[in-house]
């Protein structure tokens, strides 16, 4: 059986790592003045500079061999055509179909899925236009002013991140709120500022069975009924994005206000589906479609560009180099853009839930590292928090810097400071400094790698392309590691045990370990039956 770590290419990469370990990234630029031109590329409104990496031309060539010898071409074609690649859940993985703006059918199980995708798009269009125009009325005849999305994980992070990123395109009379945490403090705080007569709740849950979301949705409905309308009015204030139409209707949501999607859309890949409804409400249906178009453009690039000029493939290989050969444990996402402040959290779920796996697609344990710990926060703030460790600490952390080039009118000076800070940091990480000068009494070793991703402007289209880029990067890494990037059994285990514990709170159950039993005793005191 093929063993990745025994392959000739893997072994050659290990040797190359040993041979180049003491190279200085900065010297690569001296040796090759064309390095920036060679190691940068543009796709639509996105520009990637990957020249500041500890990657020589020989290393890049070998990394590309790794992808050539992988199942990428086959697995990618399978994903886009709806074959079952999520083998443990026996499902296709078709988020790419949701942003397919091309012509032609897409057959899954002998059925063309495009007409139903189109139907749901039309439903999103009708609804978002009605709410945005004020034609949609609440129970007392007033227009909607506040939209509350109730969901968690993929049913929160995507729309939450996108609504914040696209804030400047938002409808001026609509405010958006996101409730995810089962901690009652979250929903309490959001509801405390709202008027039930002008509030719309979107219950976003693929399964309509997630404890946190159902509890929050019930609390919202109770609050609505206590302060305002009657049972019959719930329909004007609650809609759902879910694959579980029956459960949504049992909750009181009108059939025509259940925005459907399908089992083949993974939670963390669902912002392109009905889960993106808050985005359509915020930026309008046209803006939502522009976001899909940006993603589609990246899909086409991913499908058609040669591997050595393929942005997601290159980003995946760079990650693999650091994780599997240079020993990096983590990967930092640092957007120099306040509007992208939720991006690190979004990418954390995308990457860590997808590639946090230790068995391959056949269920065999892997003998190599897989997905990294993804973390980060906005740049300018991060500089004054964790950058010190990145500059002089003992950890080795590759960084993705992300920024948009176009300044906001009237904010040119801020934007200039933002971008120059980012460039300064990327330069400082690479060059470091020598001990002894008056300015730098203590040395910074430098030689710390980073990519820089520039968006021409943070538009819906470029945001769509950016997210699709990371989705495909994660996919390529999953293919090379031969793992299933589309299940999440670890999360399911936690969900199941939470259910068991809450069911047995009254029992002196011996089923749990001694620590859990002891802690349950303490919890029980506060919840007398």
What is Dmax (Cα atoms) for the chain? 75
Q: Minimum CB separation from ligand F6P for residue 261, in Å?
A: 10
Closest of 243, 277, 331, 296 to residue 160, by C-alpha: 277
Alpha helix locations (H) across 230-310?
234-237, 245-251, 277-304
Give the binding range for ligand F6P (CB under 6 A) out of 113-121, 205-213, 219-227, 249-257: 205-213
Distances (CA, A) of 422 to 139, 147, 394, 419, 431: 49, 35, 22, 5, 14
Distances (CA, A) of 31 to 23, 125, 309: 12, 55, 22
Nearer to ligand F6P, 428 or 491 (CB): 491
Q: Minimum CB separation from ligand F6P for residue 270, in Å?
A: 7
Among 53, 76, 186, 206, binds ligand F6P (CB under 6 A): 206
Residues between 251 and 280 with contacts to ligand F6P, criterion CB under 6 A: 267-268
> Any idea how long the chain is?
529
Cα 287 from Cα 246, distance rounded (Å): 30
Residues between 465 and 504 with contacts to ligand F6P, criterion CB under 6 A: 488, 491
Q: Minimum CB separation from ligand F6P for residue 491, in Å?
A: 4
The active-site residue, picked from 103, 226, 230, 384, is 384
Number of residues that bind ligand F6P (CB under 6 A): 13
x/- binding map, residues 217-256, to ligand F6P, per CB under 6 A? Answer: ----------------------------------------
User: What does residue 66 show for φ and ψ, rounded to 5 degrees?
Assistant: -60, -45
Residues between 424 and 443 with contacts to ligand F6P, criterion CB under 6 A: none
Give the binding range for ligand F6P (CB under 6 A) out of 201-209, 308-316, 383-391, 407-415: 201-209
Cα 451 from Cα 39, distance rounded (Å): 10
Distances (CA, A) of 190 to 165, 210, 216, 339, 345: 20, 20, 11, 21, 20
What DSSP string describes 60-79?
HHHHHHHHHTSSHHHHHHHH
Active site residue 226: no
Residue nearest ligand F6P (C-beta atom): 267
Partner residues linked to 84 by β-bridges:
92
Nearer to ligand F6P, 197 or 467 (CB): 467
Residues between 116 and 155 with contacts to ligand F6P, criterion CB under 6 A: 152-155
User: What does residue 401 show for φ and ψ, rounded to 5 degrees?
Assistant: -90, 135
Cα 484 from Cα 502, distance rounded (Å): 31
The active-site residue, picked from 260, 290, 353, 471, is 353
Nearer to ligand F6P, 270 or 324 (CB): 270
Give the binding range for ligand F6P (CB under 6 A) out of 136-144, 163-171, 202-210, 288-296: 202-210
Active site residue 54: no
Q: Minimum CB separation from ligand F6P for residue 419, in Å?
A: 34
Nearer to ligand F6P, 56 or 342 (CB): 342
Cα 241 from Cα 206, distance rounded (Å): 7
The single-letter DSSP state of residue 168 is: G
Q: Minimum CB separation from ligand F6P for residue 483, in Å?
A: 16
Q: Minimum CB separation from ligand F6P for residue 242, in Å?
A: 8
Query: What's the burial of 306, exposed, middle or buried (CB within 10 Å: 0-12/13-18/19+)?
Result: exposed
Closest of 258, 257, 151, 266 to residue 203, by C-alpha: 151
Among 40, 81, 198, 207, binds ligand F6P (CB under 6 A): 207
Q: Is 382 a binder of ligand F6P (CB under 6 A)?
A: no
Give the binding range for ligand F6P (CB under 6 A) out of 206-214, 223-231, 319-327, 508-516: 206-214
Give the residue numbers annotated as catalytic, written as ranges: 353, 384, 495
**Site residues for ligand F6P per CB under 6 A:** 152-155, 205-207, 210, 213, 267-268, 488, 491
């Amino acid at each position: 059986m093929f063993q990745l770590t025994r392959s000739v290419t893997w072994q050659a990469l290990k040797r190359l790592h040993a041979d180049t370990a003491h190279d200085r990234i900065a010297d690569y630029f001296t040796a090759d003045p064309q390095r920036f031109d060679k190691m940068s590329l543009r796709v639509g409104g996105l520009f990637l500079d990957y020249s500041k990496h500890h990657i020589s031309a020989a290393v890049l060539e070998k990394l590309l061999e790794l992808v050539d010898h992988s199942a990428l071409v086959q697995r990618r074609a399978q994903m886009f055509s709806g074959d079952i690649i999520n083998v443990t859940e026996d499902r296709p993985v078709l988020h790419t179909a949701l942003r397919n703006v091309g012509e032609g059918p897409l057959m899954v199980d002998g059925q063309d899925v495009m007409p139903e995708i189109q139907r749901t798009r039309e439903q999103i269009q009708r609804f978002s236009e009605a709410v945005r125009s004020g034609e949609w009325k609440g129970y007392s005849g007033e227009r909607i002013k506040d939209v509350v999305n109730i969901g968690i994980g993929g049913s929160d992070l995507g729309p939450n991140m996108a609504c914040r990123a696209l804030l400047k395109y938002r409808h001026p009379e609509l405010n958006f709120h996101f409730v995810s945490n089962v901690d009652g403090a979250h929903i309490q705080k959001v509801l405390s500022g709202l008027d039930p007569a002008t509030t719309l709740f979107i219950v976003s849950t693929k399964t309509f069975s997630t404890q946190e979301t159902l509890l929050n949705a019930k609390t919202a409905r109770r609050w609505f009924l206590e302060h305002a309308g009657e049972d019959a009015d719930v329909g004007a204030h609650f809609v759902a994005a879910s694959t579980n139409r029956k459960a949504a209707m049992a909750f009181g949501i009108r059939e025509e206000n259940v925005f459907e999607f399908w089992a083949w859309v993974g939670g963390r890949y669902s912002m392109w589906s009905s889960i993106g409804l808050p985005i359509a409400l915020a930026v309008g249906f046209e803006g939502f479609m522009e976001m899909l178009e940006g993603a589609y453009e990246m899909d086409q690039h991913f499908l058609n560009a040669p591997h050595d000029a393929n942005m997601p493939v290159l980003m995946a290989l760079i990650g693999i180099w650091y994780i599997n050969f240079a020993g990096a444990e983590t990967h930092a996402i640092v957007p120099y853009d306040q509007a992208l402040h939720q991006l690190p959290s979004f990418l954390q779920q995308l990457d860590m839930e997808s590639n946090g796996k230790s068995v391959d697609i056949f269920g065999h344990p892997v003998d190599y590292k897989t997905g990294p710990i993804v973390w980060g926060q906005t740049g300018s703030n991060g500089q004054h928090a964790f950058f010190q460790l990145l500059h002089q600490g003992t950890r080795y952390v590759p960084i993705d810097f992300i920024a948009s080039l176009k300044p906001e009118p009237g904010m040119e000076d801020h934007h200039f400071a933002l971008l120059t800070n980012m460039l300064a940091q990327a330069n400082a990480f690479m060059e470091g400094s020598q001990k002894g000068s008056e300015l730098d009494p203590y040395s910074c070793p430098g030689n710390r790698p980073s990519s820089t991703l520039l968006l021409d402007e943070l538009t819906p289209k470029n945001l769509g392309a950016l997210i699709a880029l990371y989705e495909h990067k994660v996919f390529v890494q999953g293919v090379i590691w031969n793992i299933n990037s589309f299940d999440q059994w670890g999360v399911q285990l936690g969900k199941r045990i939470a259910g068991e514990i809450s069911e047995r709170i009254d029992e002196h159950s011996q089923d749990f370990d001694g620590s859990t039993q002891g802690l349950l005793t303490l919890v029980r005191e506060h919840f007398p039956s």
